[in-house]
Amino acid sequence: MATGNPDWIRLDKALSIEADKGCTNLQGNQYQFNEFLCLNFGQSPPTGTPTSDRRKWQNFAAQYADYSNLSVAQRKTLISQTRQFLYELRKTLETPRELPPPKLPKTTAITDKKASLRPVTLDQSLNNLAEVGYKRGELLKRLGLHTVKDILFYYPRDHIDYARQVAISNLVAGETVTIVGTVKRCNCFTSPKNKKLSIFELILRDHTGHIKLNRFFAGTRFTSRGWQERQKRIYPLGSIVAASGLVKQNRYGITLDNPEIEVLDSVGSSIESLKIGRVLPVYPLTEGVGADLIRKAIIASLEAIKQIRDPLPRVLREQYGLMGLKDAIGNIHFPETPELLAHARRRLVFDEFFYLQLGFLQRRQEQKQVHNSAVFTPQGKLIKQFDDILPFKLTNAQQRVINEILEDLNSVTPMNRLVQGDVGAGKTIVAVFAILAALQSGYQAALMAPTEVLAEQHYRKFIPWFNQLYLPVELLTGSTKKAKREEIHRQLQTGELPLLVGTHALIQDPVNFQKLGLVVIDEQHRFGVQQRAKLLAKGKSPHVLTMTATPIPRTLALTLHGDLDVSQIDELPPGRQAIQTTVLTGKERTQAYDLIRREVAQGRQVYIIFPMIEESEKLDVKAAVEEHKKLSEKVFPDFKIGLLHGRMSSTAKDEVLTAFRDNEYQIIVSTTVIEVGVDVPNATIMLIENAERFGLSQLHQLRGRVGRGSHKSYCLLMSSSKTPDVRQRLTVLEQSQDGFFISEMDLRFRGPGTVLGTRQSGLPDFALASLVEDQEVLELARLAAEKIIVADQTLGSLPSLKKELETRYKKLMGGEILT
């Protein structure tokens, strides 16, 4: 028998048989009963035996040596005491004790341990780091990471909190944790169902229970017996192991999903892993660049953090409670606690917002010092005449915004103003006043819209007004005939044509204005930065008026238009009534069709909209065409139904819309091409199919196509989705008609990129900042930037800050202006 490792089963069996046979000191194959006991108790007690039990163990050896001199009663008592002692000792030794928590790693400890003999500098190439090397350094360049500074400022996109150690019995599905336990069993074998899959099993036990962990290795190299045996030798029975991962509940119980595992040197020793027992950074990756490579490169670079200089003045950091930049960089990668991570993230998010706002405000100040724009007369013949022919009274909000615009135009500093207004708020009228101010001052104006439908709608609105003022206006789109296009070009150059309305054709064509003084851009977020800049370049510092019918929350406005003056038309014209909005399921379709029949019977008209299928415009068109056929032949055979989709020619679209306006079609089936630019006061129902596939702001835009007349209007949102989130989103439309509130909710539900619709929206790429979660930090950063610009517009007294601004602002904005 091995020293310190008794054969519990043979001992218990010998004692049991001796007791059953009357304590006669039975003769075994080799020894008598008392001799066998003397041999066992004569050896050292098992490893881990408490001191008091070690004495008892030795006493039993002496008592069994005298066993033959004891009476039967004394023998029975001794055997009973021995069995009880062995039972309790075995229970003590085999029941896991609560293990002290391992010493979790600290960022500073990692830095000190991994620091190379040669000092690491911020400008040093990653290829030159011993831990990275040339080959892996070349891989990191795929992420734009060339130097030590690059990788230190390459922030994690997320963090997984493995720093919290819990007992096995306290594991809760969905949490990320670290457990520490003793290995009770380890096995590694090839899956019987898949010969290319190796399964690693580990059973850990702590003082509260046990858990089975699995890892799976795909590939024939993992199915070799040698590899599997090596895995088992890494985790010997009785060794102490730390494991981190996401807690999952499966049919076999609680486990950790694909855990990270490390064998500890001893109870309470430090965890050496870069993953286990810490708040683990998760980085954006690309093909060929794994997370471990980035973590190793960052750890090798941490030493250089002490060389970073903080551009933010100490007074500003203290005023806003911001962590120092060095500490923030260290703790964003390898935070010592979740609290330090939160402080680090807040500081770095502040930086992202702050430099953007500082750049906006500095540019705004520079714009105000430009004094070469045309000065327009705010009061003049054309504006007075237009005011007189308007058949309605302007709202207070419209008049306020017009006054703000005319004041801007009466200055040598170029206007740069955004007008936000809800659907039907009357932005077009406001734009006309600005255009007339330019025209009566001897300048030309251009209005650019993102789609032909919207450009045509503006053109149609302008024609009756401008005819009464005896002013020519033309439309230039991709569908404009060659002869007409050339005539427009000629009239612009001679100055005969004062106003041109168009689409991207305004910047794609060789369009040359004689004297461009005002640029109006509608739904400006749909244009790319360069597209807007090209139009502005056709004049000499022209005044710029941008408009959007998609109201955006203040956080988005500050991020997109921080250098603009923003006006809001926050009042609808009188007579615009609320549109009754209802979310319907497929089972309630009959009710929707009944309402449509009733409205059409009273002479009203209806829109039926289908969502755009982004993957394929062909499918988008096919769905609309098939539904149009079904509705025409089976559902509403007595009504005339028009069809409108994005693949139709501009002429065909125009014919359908004109027929709908003239009530030749009672129903129009359309894709989202109908979203803007269609004004049919007689339309009272907007039925939107698969409403869950639209954003709230887009649904609100579509809803705005009805309710433009005096009749009660309805918006029906058909959705077959049973997801609670979908129902919650669509309920917002049922409860609110306020575009600004709806946009705020859309931002929270879907995020800014989706709300704005395209990646050309000019939205900066933030590494950490979230416009939804970090609104308070954005407001703080704006306030701090305003204070600094007021104190020193050129930042001459803050050279470090000025240099950082130049680098950051260009990077955030892609080197392009926004407006």
pLDDT in tens, 246-297: 899 888 889 998 888 877 765 555 555 666 666 778 788 777 787 778 888 9
Is residue 427 a contact partner of residue 677, using CB atoms and an 8 Å limit? no
**What pLDDT shows up at residue 752?**
61
Q: Is 80 exceeded by the pLDDT of residue 789?
A: yes
Of 51 and 131, the structure prediction assigns the larger pLDDT to 131
* pLDDT value for 251: 81
Task: Return d(Cα 61, Cα 6) in angstroms, integer.
Answer: 14
Read off the pLDDT of each residue in 214-226 and give the average, rounded to a whole number.
88
DSSP letter assigned to residue 165: B
CB 514: neighbour CB atoms within 10 A? 14
pLDDT of residue 271: 57
What confidence tier does 674 reach under pLDDT thresholds 50, 70, 90?
A: low
Let me know how long the chain is.
819
DSSP line for 272-290: --SSTTSEEEE---BTTB-
Query: What pLDDT sits at residue 154?
Result: 92
**Which residues are registered as beta bridge partners of 125?**
147
**Residue 314's pLDDT band (cuts 50, 70, 90):** very high
- Residue 4 reports pLDDT greater than 70: no
Q: Which residues pair with 715 in a beta bridge?
A: 581, 686
Reply yes or no on whether the pLDDT at 775 is more than 60.
Answer: yes
Structure tokens at 781: 């950063």
pLDDT at position 287 is: 77
Q: What dihedral do alpha carbons 610, 614, 617, 621 form, nearest 10°?
A: -10
Residue 202's pLDDT is: 92
Query: What average pLDDT does range 596-618 have in this prediction?
Result: 79
504 and 535 Cβ atoms separated by less than 8 Å? no
Pairwise pLDDT comparison (103 vs 183), residue with the higher score: 183
The angle that helices 775-791 and 338-368 make with each other, rounded to 10 degrees, is: 50
pLDDT digits (tens, 9 = 90+) for 613-623: 444 455 555 67
Domains 160-282 and 381-410+426-548 share a fold: no
- Are 54 and 45 a contacting pair, CB within 8 Å? yes
DSSP assignment of 321-382? TPPPHHHHHHHHHS-SSHHHHHHHHHHHHHHHHHHHHHHHHHHHHHHHT---SPPPPSS-HH
**Lowest-pLDDT choice from 199-208, 595-604, 613-622, 732-741:** 613-622
- Percentage of the chain modeled with pLDDT above 70: 87
Q: Are strands 279-282 and 158-161 parallel, antiparallel or unpaired?
A: antiparallel
- The top-scoring range by mean pLDDT among 105-119, 524-538, 559-573, 607-621 is 559-573
Residue with the larger pLDDT of the pair 760 and 377: 377
Mean per-residue pLDDT over the chain, rounded: 83
pLDDT score, position 520:
93
The pLDDT, as a whole number, for residue 713 is 93
- The class (CATH top level) of 381-410+426-548 is alpha beta
203 SS3 class: strand
Please report the pLDDT score of residue 525 as a whole number: 61
Per-residue pLDDT tens digits for 36-50: 888 888 888 887 788
Burial degree of 480 (CB within 10 A; 0-12, 13-18, 19+): buried
DSSP-derived letter for residue 143 is G
Asked if the model's pLDDT at residue 645 lies above 90, the reply is no
Top CATH class, 160-282: mainly beta
pLDDT for the residue 815 = 40
Distance between CA atoms of residues 570 and 401, nearest Å: 10
pLDDT at 10: 80
pLDDT over 50 at 324, yes or no: yes
**Confidence check: pLDDT of 584 > 60:** yes
Taking the C-alpha atoms of residue 294 and residue 299, their distance in angstroms, rounded to an integer, is 9
> What is the C-alpha to C-alpha distance for residues 607 and 602, in angstroms, rounded to an integer?
16
Alpha-helix residue ranges (DSSP H) falling in 107-159: 107-114, 133-140, 148-152
For the ranges 28-32, 462-466, 512-516, the lowest mean pLDDT is seen at 28-32
107-145 pLDDT, tens digit each: 444 544 444 456 889 999 998 888 888 898 898 988 889
- Rounded Cα distance, 477 and 67, in Å: 114
CA distance 86 to 484: 106
Tell me what pLDDT residue 750 has. Answer: 66
- pLDDT range class, residue 174, cuts 50, 70, 90: confident
Share of the chain above pLDDT 90, in %: 27
Average pLDDT over residues 747-754: 65
Query: Which residue from 771, 740, 767, 769 is spatially nearest to 753, judged by alpha carbons?
Result: 771
Q: What is the residue-wise DSSP string for 739-759? A: HHHHHHHHHHHH-HHHHH-SG
Q: Which two tokens stand for residue 188?
A: 């590694």
Residues 6+ apart with CB under 8 A from 147: 122, 123, 124, 125, 126
580-736 belongs to CATH 3.50.50.60: no
Contact 477, 503 (CB under 8 A): yes
Which residues does 642 contact at the CB level (< 8 Å), separation at least 6? 656, 659, 660, 664, 665, 667, 668, 669
Q: Which residues are 439's β-sheet partners?
A: none
Q: List strands edge to edge, sheet with 641-644.
A: 580-584, 714-718, 683-688, 605-609, 667-670, 641-644
**pLDDT per residue over 431-478, tens digit each?**
999 999 999 999 999 999 887 878 888 898 899 999 999 999 999 988
Task: Give Cα separations from 296 to 25, 148, 159, 546 (angstroms).
Answer: 67, 12, 16, 48
CB distance 513 to 542 below 8 Å: no
Q: pLDDT tens digits for 800-815? A: 999 988 888 777 665 4
Nearest to 498 by CA among 429, 447, 428: 447
Domain-wise residue ranges, the chain: 8-94, 160-282, 315-369+768-813, 381-410+426-548, 580-736
Residue 66 has, within 13 A of its CA and on its CB side, a CA count of 8
| H-helix or E-strand spanning residue 58 | helix 51-65
Got the DSSP string for 532-600? HHHHHTTSSS-EEEEEESS---HHHHHHHHTTSEEEEE--PPTT-PPPEEEEE-GGGHHHHHHHHHHHH
Neighbours of 560 (CB within 10 A): 24
Q: Which residue has the higher pLDDT, 559 or 421?
A: 421
Tens of pLDDT, residue by residue over 473-491, are: 999 988 888 899 999 999 9
Q: Per the structure block, which two tokens stand in for 486? A: 């050339």
pLDDT at position 615 is: 42
pLDDT at 11 over 90: no
